[in-house]
Amino acid sequence: MNMLKRLAMAAAAAGWMLGAGSSALAVPVTFQVDMGIQAALGRFDAVAHTVEVHGSFDGWGNGATLAADPVNADLYTVTLDVAGTPGTVVQYKFVINQGGGTLVWEDNGVGPDGAQNRECTLPESGLVLPAVHFNNQSTMPGTVLVTFQVNMAIQKILGNFDPAQHTMEVRGGFDGWGAGLVLNPSATEEDVYEGTVEITGSTGASYDYKFVINQAGTLVYEGNVGPGGVYGNRVSILSESPQVLPVVFFDNVDTDPGAGIPVTFQVDMAVEVARGNFDPDANTVFVAGPFNNWSTDATPLAARSPGSTVYTTTVRIKSSPGSTIGHKFVSSISSWEGGDNRTFTLESPEQTLPVVFFNRVDNLGTLTIGTPENGEVLISWTAGSRIRLQSAAGVGAPWEDVPDTEGQSPALVPCGDARRIFRLIGP
């Protein structure tokens, strides 16, 4: 039995009884955001604009509109039934809808420890999240001097940085990822480059950045070096007084990695195949990360064995053991995985990462069973080109295909006194 069939049985067979209505577990979650500073800055107009929350709870879809609190006019709230079991992590962001399709999202880095998105963990009962300020801006913006420092010793050994021909820069959200700031050699620390820039923002607001080697016009950015955004930017929090950030190594590589550590990546495409998002005969899945400059087609994976939906490849990664390595899988048909970058801690002398499902989706979805009527019941699910419905007389009984359901949803099935269980199945 292949992996997808085992998943289908585990997800669907245990309890889909005919005639018993079913729905996903949901927890009421109250979201709250303070828009006072945004209003004062002229970025939010309570009359012309609305505030929304978007997130993984609806697949980063249309989100939900928040309403002004009757007591505190700056506070906006909404309570949503968020599907998931206790322990499910939900990511989200607040968004200003200025009308006409113009959405102003919170910046990357508003989450815990500078993570790209805000997040919460579903409890067993209702959850009221604390009120936060949009973009974490709790005060009016001011100007703060920030000094950046980076050690380039290892990059010189690797031949990636030549002080005679290359320059060091820092680029980030502080200037809209523009030209950035050229760094100069430190007068006191060998191989350290530093520079100071004025950053305008509110105390407590986050700003993301990366160090960049300018190789005579060719820009070499650091890889996944921090928690900020989909590209793993470094993140710091703006203070009230001048800041001198600690010295870090470029790309977080603080020892000579030599030939590199072989790392085996593995991804299961079973759900993508069943949903019609991936054709093993025509499509390819790749892995991208700082080890290939985030190329979407440089590192293909191959099926582990004929007919297998698990794809693998081995890459030599030239980073120090203990480094955090970001990566994502990329399908030639459905593009990048969603959500934050995957990460792992590099281990020596070699490493095989566990099998993960593409896009973090490990099942074919849920079945919704309606109320029996006139001897029939309506069963619905999210259709996929190779997904079909099966039924059995009970646990351990043989499964039978429900006719004409492959690639289709919903289905009207006859019902009687005898119980039946249902499941979704793939190829």
Q: List the chain domain ranges.
A: 3-21+366-425, 26-136, 142-252, 261-360
Is domain 3-21+366-425 classified as CATH 3.40.50? Answer: no
Is domain 26-136 classified as CATH 3.40.50.720? Answer: no
CATH number at 261-360: 2.60.40.10
Calculated CA dihedral for residues 331, 332, 333, 334, nearest 10 degrees: 30
- Tokens for 217? 């016009």
The verdict on whether omega for the bond into residue 349 sits within 30 degrees of 0, i.e. cis, is yes
CATH number at 142-252: 2.60.40.10
Could you report the average pLDDT of every consecutive run of 10 residues in the chain (427 residues)?
Answer: 40 36 70 95 94 94 95 97 91 96 89 88 94 90 93 92 97 91 95 95 87 94 80 87 95 84 96 93 95 92 96 92 90 85 91 95 90 91 93 91 94 86 91
Cα-Cα-Cα-Cα dihedral sign, residues 162, 163, 165, 166: positive
CA 266 to chain CA centroid, Å, is 18
Residue found under tokens 């495409």: 269
- Is the whole model's pTM more than 0.75, yes or no? no
pLDDT of residue 85: 87
